Copies of this chain bind each other. A is one copy, B any other.
Amino acid sequence: MKVQAVSGKTLPTEPRELSEVADWFAETDVVVVGLGAAGSCAAIEAADAGAKVMVLEAGSVGGGTTAMAGGQIYFGGGTLLQSECGFEDTLEDMYQFMVKSCGPNGDEEKIRLYVDNNLDHYQWLLDQGMEFKAEYYAEKYTNTPNDEGLICSGNEYAYPYDTIAKPAPRGHKGKAHGEDGGAYLMRTLTAALEKRQVLISYESRALTLIQDDSKRVVGLVVRIDGEERCIKAAQGVILCAGGFIMNDEMVKNHAPRLAKASLPLGNPNDNGVGLRMGQGVGGSLIGMSEGFVALPFYPPSSFVDGIIVNGKGQRVINEDSYQGVVGDLILNAPDEKFYLVIDSRNFEALEKPPLGGFGVAGVGETIEELEEELNMPARSLSHTLEQFNFHAAEGNDPLFHKRKPYLKPLNEAPYAAFDISINSGAYFPVFTFGGLNTQPTGEVLTEDRQVVTGLYAAGRNTCGLPRSGATYSSGFSIGDATFFGRLAGKTAAQNTK
Which residues of A are interface residues toward B (Cβ below 8 A)?
A: 1, 3, 5-14, 103-105, 109, 113, 117, 160, 215, 249-250, 252-254, 256-257, 259-260, 272, 275-276, 279-280, 282, 284-290, 312, 314, 332, 335, 377, 379-380, 383, 386-387, 390-391, 398-400, 437, 439-441, 443, 445-451, 463, 467, 487
16 additional A-B pairs beyond A6-B451, A8-B450, beta carbons within 8 Å, are A6-B445, A9-B449, A12-B448, A13-B447, A14-B446, A103-B256, A104-B256, A105-B252, A254-B288, A256-B287, A279-B447, A280-B447, A285-B285, A288-B289, A289-B290, A312-B400
Contact status A443-B5, CB under 8 Å: yes
List the B residue with the shortest CB-CB distance to A272: B447
8 Å CB contact of A8 from B290, B439, B449:
B449
8 Å CB contact of A380 from B7, B9, B387:
B387
Contact status A448-B11, CB under 8 Å: yes
Contact status B253-A286, CB under 8 Å: yes
**Roughly how many angstroms separate A249 CA and B449 CA in the complex, as a whole number?**
10
**Roughly how many angstroms separate A282 CA and B400 CA in the complex, as a whole number?**
47
**Roughly how many angstroms separate A380 CA and B399 CA in the complex, as a whole number?**
9
8 Å CB contact of A288 from B13, B288, B398:
B288
| Chain B neighbourhood of A113, CB < 8 A | 1, 3
8 Å CB contact of A1 from B10, B117, B259:
B117
Contact status A439-B3, CB under 8 Å: yes
Closest CB-CB distance, A20 to chain B, in whole Å? 11
Of A280, A377, A451, the most chain B CB neighbours within 10 A belong to A377
| Chain B neighbourhood of A9, CB < 8 A | 448-449
List the B residue with the shortest CB-CB distance to A17: B213
Contact status A5-B279, CB under 8 Å: no
Closest CB-CB distance, A202 to chain B, in whole Å? 25
Closest CB-CB distance, A154 to chain B, in whole Å? 17
| Chain B neighbourhood of A443, CB < 8 A | 5
Contact status A312-B399, CB under 8 Å: yes
Q: Which 8 A-B pairs have the closest CB atoms?
A: A289-B289, A105-B256, A253-B286, A377-B398, A104-B256, A5-B451, A312-B399, A3-B440
**Roughly how many angstroms separate A279 CA and B282 CA in the complex, as a whole number?**
7
Known: A289-B288, A445-B6, A449-B10. A257 touches B380 (CB 8 A): no
Closest CB-CB distance, A404 to chain B, in whole Å? 18
Q: Pull 8 A–B residue pairs with CB atoms less than 8 Å apart, ordered by A.
A: A3-B439, A9-B448, A13-B447, A160-B335, A253-B286, A289-B289, A379-B386, A383-B387
Closest CB-CB distance, A468 to chain B, in whole Å? 8
| Chain B neighbourhood of A7, CB < 8 A | 449
8 Å CB contact of A276 from B286, B448, B463:
B448
Contact status B14-A450, CB under 8 Å: yes
| Chain B neighbourhood of A399, CB < 8 A | 312, 377, 380
Contact status B253-A437, CB under 8 Å: yes
| Chain B neighbourhood of A463, CB < 8 A | 253
Contact status B250-A447, CB under 8 Å: yes
Closest CB-CB distance, A488 to chain B, in whole Å? 11
**Roughly how many angstroms separate A113 CA and B1 CA in the complex, as a whole number?**
8
**Roughly how many angstroms separate A335 CA and B383 CA in the complex, as a whole number?**
25
| Chain B neighbourhood of A451, CB < 8 A | 5-6
Contact status B3-A284, CB under 8 Å: no
Closest CB-CB distance, A382 to chain B, in whole Å? 11
List the B residue with the shortest CB-CB distance to A377: B398
List the B residue with the shortest CB-CB distance to A160: B335
Contact status A282-B280, CB under 8 Å: yes
List the B residue with the shortest CB-CB distance to A399: B312
**Roughly how many angstroms separate A11 CA and B335 CA in the complex, as a whole number?**
42
**Roughly how many angstroms separate A354 CA and B450 CA in the complex, as a whole number?**
46
| Chain B neighbourhood of A379, CB < 8 A | 383, 386-387, 390
| Chain B neighbourhood of A103, CB < 8 A | 256
